Amino acid sequence: MKKLINDPDEVVADALLGIDAAHPELRVDHEHKVIYRAEPKADGKVALVSGGGSGHEPLHGGFVGPGMLDAACAGEVFTSPVPDQMMAATTEVDRGAGVLHIVKNYTGDVMNFDMAAELADDDDVRVETVVTDDDVAVTDSLYTAGRRGVGVTVLLEKIVGAAAEEGTDLDGVKAIAERVNAGGRSMGLALTSCVVPSAGEPTFELGDDEYELGVGIHGEPGRERRPMAPAAELAEHLLAPILDDHDYTDGPTIAFLNGMGGSPLLELYLMYGEVRRLLDDAGIAVARSLVGNYITSLEMAGCSLTLLAVDDDLLRLWDAPVSTPGLRWGA
């Protein structure tokens, strides 16, 4: 393993020092490993707390700021944060209007956020939770852990952040969050594994002529291993299961081509070109595009595609000003 790190078990703590130094507009609680806005939002507005394992940067810490999150809890690499972190963050950011927890659907994340919400209840902060589960690579079922939350989380944090900034109340914010999650579907693929620092070696091995289809963002192996194929074909393999699962033909969409961290931006744009060609063919209208590394899996090469059905209201919230290290416009 070669990485720009010191002690593999201190990667997150060390990286938070750099985030702190790089971003005067953020405040880092190093004890709890929570990233806050330096300037808290105004009283009476709903606050948003998210968090998850580290290694997905800029998600979530890079999405803290006006128009998006109020706090992000950084877990160890690929390990959900602990309830203490969410409790500290929740108490800290509440402005009297309650707090929405944005949780990606992984057993660990859900359990830790659950415990935090249970404990926060005692503290008289109203907490609601939205759990994202957009990954069509995983068969949804009542009897399993269900789908993973992946790319839609980025879009949701942006849209819901704008709603909270506008003054929407907690129930309203939660309803928008659920609408976004319901209209979002994602599919990912990996060309290489990532290397978890504390593990020291690649999580999985892939041959030079194969790729993992349906990979998640934790470097967990995907659903299927396939022979490597040109970008045009890979784009079909990403899009088909999304369109099988949800109809995107009767309204505008946001198309989000996300990099897993290790693929050059040039290739991500190339993939997006392929996706757009397919979307045109399928009669799906793209109102907004997002291309880049937003929810990553350390140095994994690969990408994921997320489609989100939107209406005028969601588009307005998407276009609203946002000012975070990871997403910034209109401000």
Ligand X SMILES: Nc1ncnc2c1ncn2[C@@H]1O[C@H](COP(=O)(O)OP(=O)(O)O)[C@@H](O)[C@H]1O
By CB under 8 A, name the binding residues for a second copy.
Answer: 1-7, 11-12, 14-23, 54-55, 57-58, 62, 77, 191-192, 194, 208-209, 211, 228, 230-232, 234, 257, 261-274, 276-277, 286, 289-291, 293, 296, 298-299, 301-303, 323, 328-331
Residue 3 interacts with, from a second copy, Mg ion, other proteins, none (CB under 5-8 Å by kind): a second copy
Are residues 222 and 212 in contact, defined by beta-carbon separation less than 8 angstroms?
A: yes
- The reply on whether position 221 binds ligand X by CB under 6 A is no
User: What is the DSSP code (8-state) at residue 3?
Assistant: -
Nearer to ligand X, 108 or 221 (CB): 108
- The reply on whether position 79 binds Mg ion by CB under 5 A is yes
H or E element in which residue 302 lies: strand 302-309
Residues 95-114 that bind other proteins (CB under 8 A): 106-108, 111-112, 114
Q: What Rg do the C-alpha atoms of the chain give, in angstroms?
A: 19
32 catalytically annotated: no
- The reply on whether position 107 binds ligand X by CB under 6 A is yes
Nearer to Mg ion, 65 or 214 (CB): 214
Structure tokens at 203: 């999580």
* Catalytic pick among 23, 32, 56, 60: 56
Length of the chain (residues)? 331
For Mg ion, the binding residue among 63, 78, 248, 294 (CB under 5 A) is 78
Residue appearing with tokens 């030079």:
208
Are residues 298 and 184 in contact, defined by beta-carbon separation less than 8 angstroms?
A: no
The pattern of x and - marking residues 75 through 94 that bind ligand X according to CB under 6 A reads: ----xx--------------
Nearer to other proteins, 129 or 323 (CB): 129
In 55-172, the DSSP E strands lie at 71-77, 99-104, 127-132
Residue 208 interacts with, from Mg ion, ligand X, other proteins, none (CB under 5-8 Å by kind): none
56 catalytically annotated: yes
Nearer to a second copy, 115 or 232 (CB): 232
Sheet with 302-309, side-by-side order of all strands: 224-227, 210-213, 184-190, 302-309, 253-259, 286-292
Are residues 89 and 34 in contact, defined by beta-carbon separation less than 8 angstroms?
A: yes
We find the least distance from the C-beta atom of residue 103 to ligand X, in angstroms, to be 13
Are residues 99 and 41 in contact, defined by beta-carbon separation less than 8 angstroms?
A: no
Q: How far is CA 244 from CA 237, 241, 310, in A?
A: 11, 5, 18
Contacting positions for ligand X (CB under 6 A): 79-80, 107-108
Annotated catalytic residues are 56, 218
